[in-house]
Structure 1
């Protein structure tokens, strides 16, 4: 049986980065609002560790996205399949990523994908052309994490 997984990404603003990547990948931002409200009501979560985002209370230092077709827990909003968890850390990004995403263009093609990603806040860094082996843009998300957009 395959294991459940999530890719955890350290960042300065987990909610903004989750919004960016949800839009970029056409994923769903997880909404833990019901769980946060339950924890607040039970006195198990201090108000200071929450914030308002997307119309509900969320955990201040955490945000996640999930594939829209995967199962999820309705109370916590936690996906039970392909997920990305963005967690707040105090230090800024300082070196090149050792792991990155490749985002592949759909029917609209690479130019349309790159234009859409830029409209969401991504930045083009370098065009790579390896002929028959492939062509792609190296890009950065709003916090400077590198990723590739390929045709």
Structure 2
């Protein structure tokens, strides 16, 4: 088997898909448009795409699964500021004075995700 998509329930698939497209740099499928009940953010192979599906209920508890992102071409702190500018909010800041650690953020619909320190940091 191959993991094809990671599916995220949400209230507005196009808006949340566009947010994640901007975060990742991966395109929203050209078959999707505002108002659609399903929106796919297409990841480069072999990475699974992100599929956003409209559901009637809102998010009420902490996610059981979340993304841990490692910056490429930027620092952790630069990426944290970049995604805040795209609409994310800081949830918990686990950065340490020695440069280690991560930041847990919330996407526009409250889903948790982390940005870890870049691999090149020592």
- TM tier, shorter chain? 0.7 to 0.9
Distance 1:26 1:63 in 2: 15
Distance 2:47 2:25 in 1: 15
SS at match of 1:29: coil
Cα displacement (A) at 1:106:
2.0
Structure showing the higher strand proportion among its residues: 1
User: Segments of 4+ in structure 1 off by > 4 A?
Assistant: 129-132
Q: Does 1:122 align with 2:121?
A: no
Q: Deviations over 1:84-125 (max 9, x none)?
A: 110000011000000000111223201110011001100011
SS at match of 2:72: coil
Rg larger for: 1
Gaps of 5+ in 2: 118-122
Structure 1 residue aligned with 2:74: 108
Q: Does 1:137 align with 2:113?
A: no
RMSD of aligned alpha carbons: 2.2
Structure 2 residue aligned with 1:98: 64
SS at match of 2:94: strand
Q: How does 1:2-151 map to 2 (within 5 A)?
A: 2-32=1-31, 53=34, 60-67=36-43, 69-70=44-45, 82-129=48-95, 134-151=100-117
| Count of residues paired in the alignment | 116
